Every structure is written in structure tokens, then in C-alpha cells.
Amino acid sequence: MPFGLIKYGFNKEYPARVDLPPACDLKDSYDVVIVGGGGHGCAAAYYLATEHGITDVAVLDKGYLGGGNTARNTAIIRANYLTPDGVNFYAESVGLYKELSNALDYNIMYSERGHLTLAHTDSAVRTMRWRAEVNKHLGVESELIFADEIARLCPTLDLSDDVRFPVLAALYHPPGSIARHDAVAWGYAAGAARHGVEFHQKTEVTGIVKEAGRVVAVETERGTVKCGQVIQAVAGSSSLVARMAGFKLPIRTIPLQACVSQPLKPFLDPIIVSGSLHAYVSQSARGELVMGGSTDPYPLYGTRSSLDFKEGLMAHMLELFPFLGEVKVLRQWAGMADMTPDFSPVMGETPVENYWLDAGWGTWGFKATPVCGKRMAETVATGRVPDILQPFRLSRFEEFDQVGEKGAASVGH
């Protein structure tokens, strides 16, 4: 990317880049149909084309590309999970993210900030130490730090003792990063389109046609499309689409809200997360504070914003950064989080032979976009689920073999 940027800077002209070819007719058949044009669907298409030479691929989205949770997330990327399976999986993603702007020739504004998960209770300190040890054992940079070091990394954080939940320690994860979420989807889509992959927006999949336990076509609002294989990557609609394919998922769909403040001068370098206060914040490149909390207290298919969320979150933010009292909230929104019982995703095989699942991304799937896309593409191309995805198989729920990430998934669910 730096070379591309320098070349661009010295150009005499700055022509607008057309990333996606114009919309085309939907063919009546493709080797692979990907349902869902979020970051995950676009990434899978990109890796199918670039790593496996599979280009007869259509990505179908009921709305616009990257308009689902990809557009709504707070863009935190990290690998400081709790289980070895989780740490290995997300660490591969962080590695891919670091090189992604160069690989896609598309600036995703990857910004390594360091990630601090605050511990306000003895049991939280224990969990942070546990995570730090598992992380280090697997080669992921994480350590437990205390007041002096926290103050050095984030001098504006209130570390006094006379508050409701004093900060006792923090899990410090230097590779923690943010990126431009839209650019991740657009960059993957543009890269895939250059290899001939088709993207069909405003094309809702309304049914899955099966014969003898195999999927043979998808029904869409623009007609029926035959297909060799299907990847389902619809995030907050996973249960609805899986039901069309004839199986049930152990998922509850719950809104997750977030908001941004007016732009402020840069004062916050690291990403700050507090599970006890149900609040997290980072400062974007344009100075806005990107803030969020835990999921809403009830399942719902809806993306409305609520005053409750904003009031609660702001009270907690002020406990961490009391000087923000006069700062205005600029925008608020929600996405639909597909929550699994163990706070880990579900990827790979389904009860339908050639129908592959990329689901259960709850509040944690943006960071997994590269690894999931790459490994799902490998699965479809080879017909074999790679080892790194095996722990996340759908059958783990009936085998009592869950990948428990509740303590590391996000801000305390």
C-alpha cells in the first residue's frame, strides 16, 4: 500500500476508480452461489477466485454490498481470546489483516492501537491472567498490566480509587487494531470482481431447492439459480436462511447497538474495553469516539436504536472518562447479532451435503472476515473442512464439545 499511495500522490490526474463492474443479468447457473454480500461473503468469493481459480461465482445480497453488520460494527480486530482454538483462529485473521491493504491494493485503514480490557474485580483479573497465559503460549502478544503501565498507555483514563469500580488491572494486547469496515467488504469485492466473480445486489434469496439431500438451486426474487455449491454468509439472518435449507441453528438473534461522538482532537490511542461497565471505546481516524456496550437484553429481529442503550452507555463512559461530559453523540445505530450458546462461530458442514455454513458471528465476526473467507473458500474448493475450522463445526453442540468464549467475546454479555 505505501508504494501505491506514493505513486498515486505523484500522479498528475486522480481518476475515480470503478471497483465493481456494472450490474449484469443473473445467469441461470453458477458453480458456487454465496448468499450474503457482507465482508464474509465478499472475502470467500475473493479467495475462491484468487487461491482456487473458482470464478463462476455469484454473490447475492438482498440489500447492498456490505450494508449489513459489516457496515454497523465498531471495527475492533484482536486475537486475545480465551480458548486455544479461538486464539489460533483469530490470530490467523490478524495476520491476514495486517497485509490486507497490500494484498487487495485497497486501503482498509488498518490502524494498530493496542487493546486494553480493564479488570475491575478479582475474578476479572483472574480471567485476564488466564487469557494472557493462553495467548502467550500460542505466540499471541498479551500481558496483564497494572496501574502505572495502564496510565502510561492511556493517561486520560480515570484510574482513581474512589469510583464505583476502580480499575485493578488490564489485559494488554498490543496487536489490537481498528480498520475501515466498509473498505474491507469493498476491497474484497473489487478483488473478486477483477477475476470475474459476479455481485448481485437487491437480490434476496427466498428459498433453497434440494434434491436427495443436496442443494441444486436457490430461489431469488429475480428467478431461480442453479448451483453446484452454496455458502450461506448472512450474519443476523442465519436462522431464517438455514430454515429455508431445512435445518435449525442454535442461535438467538439479539440487537447490538453502537454510536459515535462528534469529532474530537486525538486523545485516545488504545482501544479501551470494560466488561464490568459494559462499555468500550476507540477513537477513529477522523476523531470520533466509536462506542458500544453489550447486546440488548432481549432477542429481536430489528435494528432500531434505543434511549436506554444511550443513557446506560454514556453513564458508564463517564465513569471511565469523566471529562467527556459535554461531548455530543452524533449517530446511533444497531445490527442484529446471531448469538451462539458458547460465543463462538459456526462454520463448515451442514445437514445438506453441498451447503456450507458461515454463521454465529454474534458481536465478534468483523475481525474474522479474512480467515473465515479464506478457510471457507478452501472448504468449498477441496470439499474438506480445514483443521482450523473443525472446532467450530455445527455438530459440536450435540457432541458437548463447545468452544467457550464468553469471557473473551466482547464486553461482558
Residues in contact with ligand FAD by CB under 6 A are 35-41, 60-63, 67-70, 72-76, 204-205, 233-237, 241, 256-258, 292, 335, 337, 361, 363-367
Nearer to ligand PYC, 367 or 374 (CB): 367
The answer to whether 287 and 263 are in contact (CB under 8 A) is yes
Q: How far is the CB of 356 from ligand FAD (least distance, A)?
A: 13
Q: Could you give the CA distance from residue 69 to residue 284 in angstroms, rounded to a whole number?
A: 18
Strands 76-77 and 223-232: unpaired
Q: Given CA atoms 83, 86, 91, 97 in this order, what sign does their dihedral have? A: negative
Among 130, 387, 170, smallest CA distance to 274 is for 170
Residue with cell 491476514: 96
Largest CA distance in the chain: 67
Residues that bind ligand PYC (CB under 6 A): 74, 76, 78, 280, 292, 363-364, 367, 410
**Own/partner long-range contacts of 13-19 (Cβ < 8 Å, ≥24 apart):** 19/186, 19/189, 19/190, 19/193
Q: How far is the CB of 197 from ligand PYC (least distance, A)?
A: 28
Q: How far is the CB of 257 from ligand PYC (least distance, A)?
A: 11
Name which of ligand FAD, ligand PYC, none residue 335 binds, using a CB cut-off of 5 to 8 Å depending on partner kind: ligand FAD
Name which of ligand FAD, ligand PYC, none residue 235 binds, using a CB cut-off of 5 to 8 Å depending on partner kind: ligand FAD
**Cα atoms in the Cβ-side hemisphere of radius 13 Å centred on 105:** 11
Please report, for residues 70, 284, 307, 323, the alpha-carbon distance to residue 366 in angstroms, rounded to integers and kept in the order given: 7, 16, 26, 30
Q: Could you give the CA distance from residue 217 to residue 211 in angstroms, rounded to a whole number?
A: 9
Name which of ligand PYC, ligand FAD, none residue 63 binds, using a CB cut-off of 5 to 8 Å depending on partner kind: ligand FAD
Nearer to ligand PYC, 176 or 187 (CB): 176
Name which of ligand FAD, ligand PYC, none residue 386 binds, using a CB cut-off of 5 to 8 Å depending on partner kind: none
Q: How far is the CB of 90 from ligand FAD (least distance, A)?
A: 9
Phi-psi region of 272 (alpha: psi -120 to 50; beta: other; left: phi over 0): beta
Name which of ligand PYC, ligand FAD, none residue 70 binds, using a CB cut-off of 5 to 8 Å depending on partner kind: ligand FAD
Q: What CA dihedral angle connects 347, 351, 354 and 359, to 10 degrees?
A: -30
Name which of ligand FAD, ligand PYC, none residue 405 binds, using a CB cut-off of 5 to 8 Å depending on partner kind: none
Name which of ligand FAD, ligand PYC, none residue 69 binds, using a CB cut-off of 5 to 8 Å depending on partner kind: ligand FAD
- DSSP assignment of 104-146 equals HTS----EE--EEEEE-SHHHHHHHHHHHHHHHHTT---EEE-
Q: How far is the CB of 19 from ligand FAD (least distance, A)?
A: 17
Q: How far is the CB of 276 from ligand FAD (least distance, A)?
A: 19
Q: How far is the CB of 367 from ligand PYC (least distance, A)?
A: 6
Nearer to ligand FAD, 223 or 400 (CB): 223
Name which of ligand FAD, ligand PYC, none residue 45 binds, using a CB cut-off of 5 to 8 Å depending on partner kind: none
Angle at 331 between CA 329 and CA 332, to 5 degrees: 100
Nearer to ligand FAD, 73 or 135 (CB): 73
Q: How far is the CB of 410 from ligand FAD (least distance, A)?
A: 7
Q: How far is the CB of 328 from ligand FAD (least distance, A)?
A: 19
Nearer to ligand PYC, 74 or 237 (CB): 74
Nearer to ligand FAD, 72 or 396 (CB): 72
Nearer to ligand PYC, 62 or 173 (CB): 173
Residue with cell 502467550: 136
Q: How far is the CB of 286 from ligand PYC (least distance, A)?
A: 19
Residue with cell 470464478: 55
Strands 355-359 and 223-232: parallel
Nearer to ligand FAD, 280 or 321 (CB): 280
Nearer to ligand PYC, 116 or 153 (CB): 116
- DSSP assignment of 350-392 equals -SSTTEEEEE--TTT-GGGHHHHHHHHHHHHHHSS--GGGGGG
Question: What residue spans of 272-368 are helical by DSSP H?
Answer: 307-320
Nearer to ligand FAD, 169 or 357 (CB): 357
Name which of ligand FAD, ligand PYC, none residue 59 binds, using a CB cut-off of 5 to 8 Å depending on partner kind: none
- Three-state DSSP at 324 gives helix
Name which of ligand FAD, ligand PYC, none residue 36 binds, using a CB cut-off of 5 to 8 Å depending on partner kind: ligand FAD
Among 263, 250, 285, smallest CA distance to 107 is for 285
